[in-house]
Amino acid sequence: MNIPFNKPHLTGKEAHYMYQAVFNGHLSGNGEFTKKCQRFFEERYGFKKCLLTTSGTDALEMCAMLCDLKPGDEVIIPSYTFVSTALAFLREGAKVVFADSMKRNPNLDAEAIEALITPRTKVIVPVHYAGVACDMDKIMEIANRYNLLVVEDAAQAINSYYISHRCCDGRFAPSEENPRKEATILPLGGIGHLAAFSFHETKNITAGGEGGLLVVNDERFIRRAEIIWEKGTNRAEFFRGAVNKYGWVDMGSSFLPAEINAAFLWAQLENLDEIQNKRKALWETYYKLLKPLSEKGYFSMPVIPDYASNNAHMFYLILPNLEKRSALIKHLKDNGVLAVFHYLSLHSSAYYADKHDGRVLSECDRYADTLVRLPMYYDLEIEDVERICEVIKQFIR
């Protein structure tokens, strides 16, 4: 039997809640299920304001609009990410400055950010790759010092955390005068000024194929976020009774998902812990079974820094070179296992290569050539993971 790379999981309640949404008589956005989902995120993670969107891309576009960029303003984005991270800011007329990844994992190298800052820099966009946190104390400290906004691309990072050593007096960087105080555990998406999650069917939970969430942590952006969400109108205030008529007051678009998508998402949220526990068990099995081979140097495995948690969004291997990766993917495919690679470096993509400033981003290029993602989804069984690991062992032999 073939093992696909991904399979969207159904908890069993999706159709039931979608049926309820239909018979509630409120089909468009911002109905009961939308409000229930938004409240869930606000209560569980302490996010200030949550707005469901039709995709993670849309949530990122809302973030970019809220940053109020002027032509020529610069945004620092890792090159090793999905297109939408960059596209959202490029659409607003910003200049995207691509940053390299770390040596130890594909996340944005926080140490390399400062060298990219110019007087035009406005935003830093850390992407929590595979749901593993970027070094957020460092990134927030730089952002504070240069007065920049931070937009977290938390598309893959639902239910994942960062262990912060931010100092108690509110300053970020620990220093000799300001030594590290006790750790605080912060949910990813709750640290930057704004954040975007995705509920695409390839993510840990889905809103029926496509969906996303905008998180506003900085209160200054809440009112405008609601307006942009409601096609540039102050409709949300009208519904709250705060104004007696609503009209066009700002930029915006149609970012609200329909209620049936929110109903689908609600069924998944009710089962979030169960979904996460299963995914973690699968991840741990991969890790345990493949560790001996990684210790012999055949490939390396995901590195979770001590400031990060693991939400088991993805299990990947890093092969020594492109040829070996291609050979492994082929061997897996010949044995009925679908493994995939991604991302192609955005700075050298067909669309952006001639706009890039020519800096070499070698870690990013290395991940683009050598990273392979193994099957990871709720309905995968431990025995499947064991079989996949056997096929990999066979390949090494």
Ligand X SMILES: *Cc1c(COP(=O)(O)O)cnc(C)c1O
Which residues sit at the interface with ligand X, rule CB under 6 A?
Answer: 55-57, 81-82, 84-85, 127, 153, 155-156, 198, 200, 212
DSSP 71: T
Query: Looking only at Cα atoms, what is the longest distance across the chain?
Result: 73
Tell me how far, at minimum, the Cβ of 157 lies from ligand X, in Å: 9
Q: How far apart are CA 89 and CA 381, in angstroms?
A: 39
Residue 38 or 84: the one with the smaller Cβ distance to ligand X is 84
Minimum CB separation from ligand X for residue 301, in Å?
20
Helix then strand then coil, in percent of the chain rounded to 5, is 40, 15, 45
Nearer to ligand X, 171 or 342 (CB): 342
What minimum distance in Å lies between the beta carbon of 85 and ligand X?
5
Shortest Cβ distance from residue 79 to ligand X (Å)?
12
187 phi-psi bin (left φ>0, alpha ψ -120 to 50, beta other): beta
How many helices (DSSP H) and strands (DSSP E) are in the chain?
A: 12, 11
Please give the residue whose beta carbon sits closest to ligand X in the complex. 56
Comparison of 160 and 198: residue with beta carbon closer to ligand X: 198
Cα 286-288-289 angle, rounded to 5 deg: 65
Q: Which CB atom, from 81 or from 310, has the smaller least distance to ligand X?
A: 81
Smallest separation (angstroms) from ligand X to the CB of 367: 13
CA 67 to chain centroid:
18
Residue closer to ligand X, measured from CB, 187 or 212: 212
DSSP strands (E only) in 23-64:
49-53
Q: How far is the CB of 231 from ligand X (least distance, A)?
A: 19
Coil, strand or helix at 74: strand
Quick check: 317 and 290 in contact, CB under 8 A? Answer: yes
> Among residues 120 and 342, whose Cβ is nearest to ligand X?
342
